[in-house]
Amino acid sequence: MRDLSIRNIALIVAGIFGFIFINSGFFIVSPGNRGIIVTLGKTETMAKPEGLSFKPPLISKVYEISIRQQTEGVRSECYSSDLQQVNVSLKVLYRVPEGKVVTIFTQYAGNPFESLIAPRVQEAIKEATALESAEGIVKGRERIKLRVLESAQKKIQDLVIIEDIVIENVTLSKELEKAIEEKMVQEQEAAKSKFLKDKARIEAETAEIRAAGEARAIDIRGEAIRKNPGIIDLQLIEKWNGVSPLVVGQTAGNFVLPLQNKK
């Protein structure tokens, strides 16, 4: 009886340890992540998808790498083509492609931003701003953004996908900002003055054309009356209101008054 009890206890203990051993082999990868299994210091070549998976019990660890889009900020001090210092702040939208999860884990400890993305984006910013004047950088943010995005994508290649870059702020020295602002105001005033001059010129040309047209119309009517004097009689008849006219005087200066019925 005693041997049987010891045997039962041993079986129970073995069953508990067996359950723990087998259960330690199961793990769950969170949505939007991929699981990296490391066994005795060796990384498996294939990442595990989200959901329930199995690994070698006790001797393996699981690390999760996100494949969702992420956003990080980058700041860079650079110089324009006219040797003005420009500080650029931007946001980088990126994601780790599923096929590069293991590479990112082994080469960049699972966090590619600090060691891979940020340095190359900063380098791309300096290259892009070096081609523009300080004023051009301020006015052409979209152009600078496209240059930085294209350059960063080439530098990083397919290790990480750079979805987009958003320039948040471009900071210049106060003196330079004031000079650019004054120049922009002068350009706006010059454009307004040009617009007013063009408007006055167009109005004058329009008035001249209208006057020429009216004079031409008068000449045409006069010529028509000279050739057809009866036109005047026809116009009088068309405009007559039915009241009999009264002729005053018998000379060439006669004029006609309408007759009115007296009540």
CA proximity to 35, closest of 95, 110, 89: 110
pLDDT score at 215: 74
Q: Which domains does the chain have, with CATH numbers?
A: 2-66 (no CATH), 70-174 (3.30.479.30)
Given a cut of 50, is residue 97 above it in pLDDT?
Answer: yes
**73-91 tens-digit pLDDT:** 999 988 888 888 889 999 9
Mean pLDDT is lowest, of 5-14, 38-47, 184-193, for 184-193
Q: What is the pLDDT of residues 181-223, one digit of tens each?
A: 666 655 566 666 677 777 777 877 787 787 777 777 777 766 6
User: pLDDT tens digits, residue range 154-180?
Assistant: 999 999 999 999 999 888 866 665 665
pLDDT band at 262 (very low <50, low <70, confident <90, very high): very low
Number of DSSP helices (H) and strands (E) in the chain, helices first: 8, 10
3-state helix, strand, coil in the chain (%, to 5): 50, 25, 25
Provide the pLDDT confidence category of residue 228 given band limits of 50, 70 and 90: low
Can you read off the two tokens belonging to residue 201? 């010129």
- The structure tokens 């110089």 sit at 79
Is the per-residue pLDDT at 263 higher than 80? no
To the nearest whole number, what is the mean pLDDT of the chain?
79
Q: Is the pLDDT of residue 18 over 90?
A: no
What tokens appear for 174 in the block?
């106060």
pLDDT at 196: 73
The helix (H) or strand (E) run that includes residue 86 is: strand 85-95
Per-residue pLDDT at 55 exceeds 50: yes
d(CA 159, CA 192): 51
254 pLDDT exceeds 60? no
For the ranges 42-46, 92-96, 156-160, 220-224, the lowest mean pLDDT is seen at 220-224
**Tokens 């004079």 found at:** 215
CB crowding 3-20: b at 16 or more within 10 Å, else e: eeeeeeeeeeeeeeeeee
* H-run or E-run covering 3: helix 2-23
Residue in the structure block whose two tokens are 């054309």: 209
Long-range contacts of 68-71 (CB under 8 A, 24+ apart): 68/32, 68/95, 69/93, 69/94, 69/95, 69/163, 70/94, 70/95, 70/113
For the beta carbon of residue 98, count every other beta carbon within 10 angstroms. 12
pLDDT tens per residue, range 113-164: 999 999 999 999 999 999 998 888 888 889 999 999 999 999 999 999 999 9
pLDDT for 91 equals 96
237/8: higher pLDDT: 8
Least confident among 5-9, 14-18, 240-244, 259-263: 259-263
**Phi, psi (deg, nearest 5) at residue 4:** -65, -40
